[in-house]
């Protein structure tokens, strides 16, 4: 009887060939281009839609990533109220995932934004609300640098799916290798 090699032997690791549906990749590419052009509100609308689609498919981590990106894009586009709404949604999603720390940098940015726009009282209320939901302090300073040194060379977006990447939000496998939170592919620091 002929011996056959197990099929698994010829398979590449799952993370190396993530399945990002072409329309999703196209949408992420378009959103990236819009951000580069400074059209943050149009980009935010795309991330919003992708967040809803991911959550509807029970892809909680990817959904959170898109909600965070929608919030950031609205903030960059100076749409404070929209950003605030997404930040709250992201906090709830992160709490359900058991990953509240993922929202802390955005929460800090949001507090700073409100402070800088003369809404100190609202900023204080929002900070208290976030600390309650996230179960951790939301300070004023920039995000703590906990990612490895290679984080500085992490591509701005995932080569496989074009989702934006942030050193403090990816899972680091090693100093030079991180996992894209949206599609799960391994991203090499450049
Ligand atoms: Zn990806």
pLDDT band at 103 (very low <50, low <70, confident <90, very high): very high
Kind plus residue range of the DSSP H or E element containing 154: none
Q: Assess if residue 157 is contained within a domain.
A: yes
Residues paired with 188 in a beta bridge: 177
Listed residue (161, 154, 160) closest to 178, CA to CA: 154
pLDDT at 84 over 70: yes
Question: Cα of 101 to ligand 1 centre, how many Å?
Answer: 20
Question: Cα of 24 to ligand 1 centre, how many Å?
Answer: 11
Question: Cα of 14 to ligand 1 centre, how many Å?
Answer: 13
pLDDT at 4 over 80: no
pLDDT at residue 150, rounded to an integer: 55
Question: Cα of 174 to ligand 1 centre, how many Å?
Answer: 17
Question: Cα of 10 to ligand 1 centre, how many Å?
Answer: 23
Q: Assess if residue 178 is contained within a domain.
A: yes
Q: Could you tell me the pTM of the whole model?
A: 0.83
Q: Assess if residue 180 is contained within a domain.
A: yes
As for how many domains the chain has, the answer is 1
Question: Cα of 95 to ligand 1 centre, how many Å?
Answer: 22
Q: Assess if residue 57 is contained within a domain.
A: no
Other Cβ atoms within 10 Å of 12 Cβ, number: 7
Q: Assess if residue 61 is contained within a domain.
A: no
pLDDT at 178 over 70: yes
Question: Cα of 187 to ligand 1 centre, how many Å?
Answer: 8
Q: Assess if residue 16 is contained within a domain.
A: no
- Cα end-to-end distance, the chain, whole Å: 48
Q: Assess if residue 96 is contained within a domain.
A: no
Q: Is 157:163 a contact under the CB 8 Å cutoff?
A: yes
CA 141 and chain centroid, separation: 20
pLDDT band at 175 (very low <50, low <70, confident <90, very high): confident
Domain that holds residue 183: 148-190
Q: Assess if residue 155 is contained within a domain.
A: yes
Question: Cα of 16 to ligand 1 centre, how many Å?
Answer: 10
The pair of three-digit structure tokens given for residue 163, joined into one six-digit string = 């989702």
Question: Cα of 190 to ligand 1 centre, how many Å?
Answer: 15
Listed residue (127, 105, 132, 103) closest to 115, CA to CA: 127
pLDDT band at 147 (very low <50, low <70, confident <90, very high): low
pLDDT band at 1 (very low <50, low <70, confident <90, very high): low
Question: Cα of 82 to ligand 1 centre, how many Å?
Answer: 25
pLDDT at residue 49, rounded to an integer: 98
Q: Is 83:45 a contact under the CB 8 Å cutoff?
A: no
């Amino acid at each position: 009887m002929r011996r056959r090699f197990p099929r698994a032997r010829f398979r590449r690791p799952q993370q190396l060939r993530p399945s990002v549906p072409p329309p999703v990749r196209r949408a992420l590419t378009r959103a990236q281009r819009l951000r580069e052009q400074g059209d943050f509100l149009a980009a935010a609308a795309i991330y919003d839609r992708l967040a809803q689609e991911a959550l509807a498919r029970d892809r909680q981590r990817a959904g959170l990533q898109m909600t965070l990106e929608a919030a950031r894009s609205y903030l960059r586009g100076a749409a404070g109220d929209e950003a605030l709404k997404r930040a709250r949604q992201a906090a709830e999603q992160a709490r359900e995932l058991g990953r509240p720390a993922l929202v802390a940098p955005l929460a800090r940015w949001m507090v700073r934004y409100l402070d800088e726009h003369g809404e100190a009282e609202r900023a204080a209320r929002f900070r208290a609300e976030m600390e309650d939901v996230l179960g951790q302090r939301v300070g004023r300073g920039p995000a703590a640098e906990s990612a490895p040194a290679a984080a500085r060379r992490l591509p701005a977006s995932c080569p496989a799916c074009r989702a934006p990447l942030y050193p403090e939000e990816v899972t680091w496998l090693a100093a030079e290798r991180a996992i894209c939170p949206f599609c799960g592919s391994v991203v090499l620091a450049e």
